[in-house]
Every structure is written in C-alpha cells, then in structure tokens.
Amino acid sequence: MHLLRGHQLIRVTAVAALVVAPLAGAYVPAAAAADTVVLPLETQPRIERPILDSIKRAAANQRGTLEAAVEAYVAETAATSPTAWANQPDGRASIPDVMVDDLSAVELDDLAALARDTGTGFAETIDRHGWTSAYRKVAAELEAAFPQEFSGAVRAEDGSSAWFGFKNAIPEEAVTLAKTLPAEVRLVGGRGFSEAELAEASENAHAAAMADPAVAGASTYYEIQTGVIHVSAQSREAEMPPAELNAVRDRLASVRTLSAGIKVEAEVSSMPVSVPQDDYIRGGGYLTGCTAGFNLKYATSSTKRIGTAGHCGSTEFSTYTNHSADGGSTGVMEIWSHQGRWGDIGYYDTGGFTPTRTFYYDFSKKRYADSRSGMPAVGDTACKFGKISGRVCTSVRYRNVSVNDLRHMVISNSTDCASGDSGGPWYHGGMAMGIHQGLIRKSGDSYRCSFTPAYLYQNRNYDVWQR
C-alpha cells in the first residue's frame, strides 16, 4: 500500500475468469503478423486544400498569423456570398456558413481553439486533426456493418494515426474504408472479442463493484486496444486495513467475462469517483447554478425543451439567462431529470422565451446545431462550453464509461472544467455531441472532464433541435 494525497490506494491487474460463452477458435492475445494490416502514411491519400494553402501564403507574405488570415478570408467571402447568412432562420450566428476547402468555418474555429488549448500551431493542428470527421465516419460505418466483429476504433491523441480492431478476420470492406483516411492506419484481426462484448464485460464488472458491500461508488471504463477493463472503486470507509482492501480488490478483479483475453484492472481508494459540477438554460445559456446544453425537439410534435444535466434539476424552478450580448432572463420549470442507464441528462420548459436552434459555443458567441453525433469514437475532437471555465477543446479518451449509477458516459482528455459547467454543450463544429456532467476519476487520482452523449435523449423521444 502507498499513500496518494492522503487517500488509500491499492491496485492490481488480474486476468479475468474463464470464458462464459465459448468463442469460435482459440483466442490469440497478440495478433500475429498475418492478422495485421498496416497502411503507411505515404500510401494514404493526401488532403488537397488549395484555398487554405493560398491563405497560408498570404499570411506569410503579410507576416501575420494564419488564424487572422483565415478569419479575414471567411469575413471577405461572407460579404459577397449570398449563402453565407441565408440559411440562419433563428437569427445570425457568430460565424457565417463559409467553407474553406473541405473544412467549414465553424470547424476551423474549433481547430483554432484546440491549437490554443494544446499549445500547438494552428497549421499543425489542422494537419493533425482536420480529418477527424472522416475518421468518425469510417468508425461509425464499420461499427454499423460489423457489430459482432468490430473490436473498436482509436485515433491517436496527436492525430497521427488510426487503429481499428476485429474479433476474427479483418473484413475487406474495412481495408477499403481505411484506405480513404489521410493518415497511417493499422487494422488488427484475431482479437477474440468485439467491442460490444468488451462493453458488456465492463458493465458486468461495474455491476459487481456497485453490489459489493464495501464499495461506496465505482467508475468503470475499458481500453479498446488492450482489452483491459479498469475498475476504480471508492471504499465506504475512509480507512480500511490492508487485508480488507486486498479482499475487496480481489473480488473486483475476479469478474467473469465473455473472453479469456479480456483483463480486469482494479483499484480501491477512499477518493470519490465522480464530481458533478453544479452550482445550479438558449443552448449554452445560464441556469441557476448550471449551464444549458442544447435545445431539444420532440420527435412527433413541435414541443421544445432546454436540455441540461440531470443533476442540475435539484429544484423544480430555475432561471435561464442569456449571455450578456443578448441579455434577458426567464423563469423555467424542470420537466424531467435522469441519472442512470441513460447517463446524466434532463430538460426544462422554455419559460417565456422563444427557443432557437443555436447554442452558445463561447461567451456571447452563437452557432447553429446542424447534426447530432452517436456515441463518440476514441480520438474524436470535441469542445465544451461551461459558464465558469468557458470554451475548451480536447479529444475523447474513453467511451461507454460506467460511474456509480450512470451508464454510457464519455471521458475526455481535458481536466479544464469547473463547478457550474454542468449541463453545458459538448460539440464539434455544428455537431452536437453531449451534455457536460463533471469530473470522473479514471485511475489513481486522475480526474477528467466527462459528458453524456446527446443521442441518449432519444430514449425520451427528444433529439437536439437542428437547423
């Protein structure tokens, strides 16, 4: 045992118990060379961006920044383009509908924010992460086409490569799709389990942890590439004898899974596993103590609601306030809140205000919600807005995370979120991705910002209201 900031921590790695459901053929822990296809960067397609290249040259000639040059190009184009502001039915957003080659102006704005947040140059950030949408599309297509075979997708945090895994043989379609990506791609077959089975095993491990009488709470997530399930448990007692900690740890590491290749790594600590960020709605507007997410529309009627985090609904009535550029506030009433198998989501009525399809993506800056993602892929770029910490851009680290009673959560790579951000929007360009939840402890004392995927509102027949 060793002390960690005054808290007890014991961890162990254990191979999961015997197979519950037999697999076809023996599992090979490390894929053989024949089960791996590597598509080197030099053989992959290169994205041609002639407009962006000319903007770069202009910035260099004028000794200005690329970010300023892109902003100038977007503004000049918008001034003469009849379509730049034409399709904005709820009023002008902060950024016009302008494309720079394959990238929209709102995507470039997010990439500029990501460059600032990571300390990377804007041009380099575009090269590294400007293909996120293509990666997300390939990952979603493979998961939909091969749900029983797909072992998951991971895009490197630095954007340099992508990884796709498969339970058995690598489908030819996967190789064909991977050849469309402008980065090095590694496809690995013979994994012995699908991501669906890995997620089910993770859920079993989490349920076992939550049922343990010595555990007050747990967060459970899995590493797609390694097949390791991580269980971080909070002990009910602040101080437990080492022998008792070991016994709890051993119980958590002994969960049965669908594949002998799936491993369980368990730790027990007195630290909380989740910290919801509420003090106490237009998307991204301010609620009493929280931040609004996206406006929602009912599937079969014109009913609109203001989406936010479920734990923000601690009082029946709240006040929604616009950002200072717009002003005004209205009383709103909680309609529904949920913390459980659909994550941490809820919604209010719209009070005396008229709902729109826009959301605040930064302080007093608005853009339209044009689409809504499914479960984000590992490595997806994502930005969040919260009324305390503001706008932060990062990437997805884990998906399908279970924490206490919450399911299907997403953990990001960022730690930059604060109390009062709860309920705020997570997005990429004009794509709605999720609703901010708070901080989840991933292992040891490492907390990361987390969100509920926005698609889970469909369980209530609502969805993000889109342009």
Lowest-pLDDT choice from 4-8, 51-55, 423-427 = 4-8
Q: Is the pLDDT of residue 200 over 50?
A: yes
Whether 310 is covered by a domain: the verdict is yes
Tokens describing residue 203: 């859920």
Q: Which of 210, 243, 271 is the last residue of a domain?
A: 271
Place of tokens 């397609």: 45
Asked whether 39 and 81 are in contact (CB, 8 A), the reply is no
Question: 260 with 304, same domain?
Answer: no
Q: Per-residue pLDDT averaged across 434-451, rounded?
A: 91
Could you tell me if 248 and 354 lie in one domain? no
More confident residue, 43 or 256: 43
Amino acid in position 67? E
Please check whether residue 326 lies inside any domain of the structure: yes
In this predicted structure, which of 80-89, 172-181, 273-282, 385-394 has the lowest mean pLDDT?
Answer: 273-282
Identify whether 280 is part of a domain: no
Q: Determine, yes or no, domain membership for 277.
A: no
Q: Please, which pLDDT band fits residue 239 given cuts at 50, 70 and 90?
A: confident
Q: What is the pTM of this model?
A: 0.86
For residue 444, give the CATH number of its domain.
2.40.10.10
- The total number of structural domains in the chain stands at 2
Phi, psi of 140, deg, nearest 5: -65, -40
Q: Say yes or no: 293 and 429 in one domain.
A: yes
Could you tell me if 459 and 318 lie in one domain? Answer: yes
- In this prediction, residue 40 carries a pLDDT of 98
Q: What is the pLDDT of residue 443?
A: 78
Whether residue 376 is predicted with pLDDT greater than 80 in this model: the reply is: yes
**pLDDT at residue 441 is higher than 70:** yes
Q: Is residue 53 exposed (0-12), middle (13-18) or buried (19+ Cβ within 10 Å)?
A: exposed
pLDDT, tens digit, 9 for 90 and up, residues 28-69:
344 444 599 999 999 999 999 999 999 999 999 999 999 999
What is the domain extent for residue 245?
A: 2-23+195-271
Q: Quick one: 317 and 349 in the same domain? A: yes
Domain-located, residue 311: yes
Q: Please say if the pLDDT value at position 197 is more than 80.
A: yes
In this prediction, residues 302-307 reach a mean pLDDT of 97
| Average pLDDT value for residue range 333-358 | 96
In the predicted model, is pLDDT for residue 3 greater than 70? no
CATH number at residue 208: 3.30.300
Domain end position, chosen among 271, 302, 332: 271
Residues 232 and 265 in one domain: yes
| Residues above pLDDT 70, as percent of the chain | 91
Note whether 331 and 425 are same-domain residues.
yes
pLDDT at 241: 84
Q: What is the per-residue pLDDT for 34?
A: 53
Q: Does residue 231 have a pLDDT over 80? A: yes
Whether 441 and 361 map to the same domain: the answer is yes
User: In the chain, what percentage of residues exceed pLDDT 90?
Assistant: 82
Quick one: which of 104, 103, 121 has its CA closest to 112? 121
CA atoms of 150 and 48, how far apart (whole Å): 31
459-465 average pLDDT score: 98
Judge if 242 and 343 occupy the same domain: no
Judgement on whether residues 219 and 302 belong to the same structural domain of the protein: no
Cβ-Cβ contacts under 8 Å for 194 (sequence gap 6 or more): 147, 148, 149, 150, 151, 167
- Return left, alpha or beta for 351; rule: phi > 0 is left, psi -120 to 50 is alpha, else beta: left
Measured CA distances, 216 to 10, 119, 354, 439 (Å) = 16, 39, 43, 17
Tell me which of 23-32, 184-193, 206-215, 319-328 is least confident. 23-32
Average pLDDT over residues 65-88: 97
Residue 93 within any structural domain of the chain: no
With CA atoms as reference, report the closest residue to 254 among 245, 266, 242. Answer: 266
Residues 290 and 267 occupy one common structural domain:
no
Report whether 309 contacts 423 (CB < 8 A): yes
Confidence at residue 25, expressed as pLDDT on a 0 to 100 scale:
31
422 vs 284: CA distance, rounded Å:
10
* pLDDT in the model for residue 282: 60
Q: Looking at the structure, do residues 262 and 296 belong to the same domain, yes or no?
A: no
Q: Is residue 45 part of a domain?
A: no
Mean of pLDDT over the chain: 90
Q: Which of 210, 245, 271 is the last residue of a domain?
A: 271
pLDDT recorded at residue 448: 95
The token pair at 33 is: 């060379």
Q: Is residue 132 part of a domain?
A: no
Q: Region 448-455: what's the mean pLDDT?
A: 97
- Residue 21: pLDDT over 70: no
